[in-house]
Chains A and B, each alone.
Chain A
């Protein structure tokens, strides 16, 4: 498996899935109560979304030639 430029899609979905599984584990083990879920799940989405936005921006900065060039 070769290294490559950050694939934001894979990153975001992967983090969401890991996060959902982690939330379940925490709730299952009593670390989080179910009452926290309405906050924990949106917080997870916000966190992952931020990571995705930052990764996309970082990627865009590294490869400025991407996209149609405008004068």
Chain B
């Protein structure tokens, strides 16, 4: 027994605790699901002694130990999910994404705008939506202040009795489905313009929507991971698209019911990551990848047709060997562009080289001097024999190494 979650669940359902424990262990063997559920139960189910859940205490500042224990439980979830799924299947990427989602959920859950009794007299007018989260401003709640005419009983009255030990997290009294109507946070709604209490406007009861949505997103992502583990072909980007969809639906719902603007941050992150992962996945699985990433050596033997040439390559290793070229006395323009990879240019000893090189990130090495880093740029003239021709060499590299050297060097 760690935190008595099994026994509590068993009592609630009126079954033998042993049954629940065995079930948990069996589930734990299946990619650690049981351990995850145990940790979630630890986090969300109310304790016998306080009648409040661990998460609730942490959120409302029920003692310094609460936060630490919540982090412990979430860390447990994270480790188990990563190790369990990662070992069971060689699928580290989805697992990493899942871990990010869980971490974000933890971050959202652990946000506390103001503690009761803290020195900050939290002036809510400056933050009309709390901290932007569904749970913002919850800690400073004089529930039935006169300025909140629509405060609902369900939002303020503590739930007592057997219901207080609700198992489903959304039934948890820790997150009452309170909502303060629009008028309360945009003071000039319809109805009589109530004299706004300038000093301490009532904080809104928190809305359950944010927690509900994040929980649903985590749940959906977990189910997707299980489907993936079971053998279905789940694209990696699906681990971003699914929670994004859930978060989006939660926000759309929040346009008319409840309040969960804090989800916007989570959604923005997921929406930014989704195209990146989708593109990377597509490129990596594409047949063209092998073609795009090539090793190529080009060794022209004459300067004919070289002037004004632009050589481009998306990715790979390009070696441009000009050592056999006899440059005419005028100037020759040559441009070499590689997206990612390496570019090696060999120039003959006699020619004068005017180098104009740019490297997005990587290493730039030319005529014996080398620099590394991001945003490298170099304009350099390396004189050859007097009277010899000039090569204007324009080199661009996105990510990788550029090397320009004399044939004799």
Interfacial residues, chain A to chain B (CB-CB below 8 A): 1-11, 13-22, 24-25, 27-28, 34, 55, 62-63, 65-67
Contacts and interface: CB of A to CB of B under 8 A. Distances in A.
B264 interface: yes
A46 to B, nearest CB: 17
B344 interface: no
Nearest to B178: A2
Given A1-B208, A18-B249, A34-B282, A24 B179 contact: no
Given A4-B257, A9-B261, A13-B251, A20 B188 contact: no
Given A5-B181, A18-B245, A21-B248, 11 more contacts: A2-B179, A7-B254, A11-B251, A13-B267, A14-B251, A14-B254, A27-B278, A28-B238, A28-B278, A63-B188, A63-B189
A7 B132 CA distance: 13
Given A2-B181, A13-B251, A15-B252, A24 B278 contact: yes
Interface residues of B, number: 46
A1 B249 contact: no
Interface string B181-224: 11000101110010000000000000111000000000000000
B146 interface: no
B189 A18 contact: no
Contacts of B244: 17, 20-21
B235 interface: yes
B258 A1 contact: yes
Interface in B123-172: 150, 152
Given A10-B252, A65-B193, A3 B257 contact: yes
A4 B256 contact: yes
B260 interface: yes
B237 A28 contact: yes
Contact of A7 (B237, B255, B274): B255
Contacts of A7: 182, 254-256, 259, 261
A65 B190 contact: yes
A13 B258 CA distance: 15
A1 B213 CA distance: 13
A5 B189 contact: yes
B248 A10 contact: no
Interface string B233-250: 001011001101101111
B331 interface: no
B179 A8 contact: no
User: Which DSSP category, helix, strand, loop or mixed, fits chain B's interface?
Assistant: helix
Contact of B271 (A11, A17, A25, A27): A17
Contacts of A24: 237, 241, 274-275, 278
B213 to A, nearest CB: 10
A1 B208 CA distance: 7
B188 A10 contact: no
Given A17-B270, A28-B235, A63-B189, A1 B257 contact: yes
A38 to B, nearest CB: 12
Contact of B258 (A2, A27, A66): A2
Nearest to B191: A65
A63 B181 CA distance: 14
B248 A16 contact: yes
A1 B209 contact: yes
A10 B152 contact: no
Contacts of B150: 2
Q: Which 7 A-B pairs have the closest CB atoms?
A: A14-B251, A17-B248, A1-B258, A18-B248, A14-B252, A11-B255, A5-B182
Chain B CB within 10 A, most for which of A9, A11, A18, A62: A18
B177 interface: yes
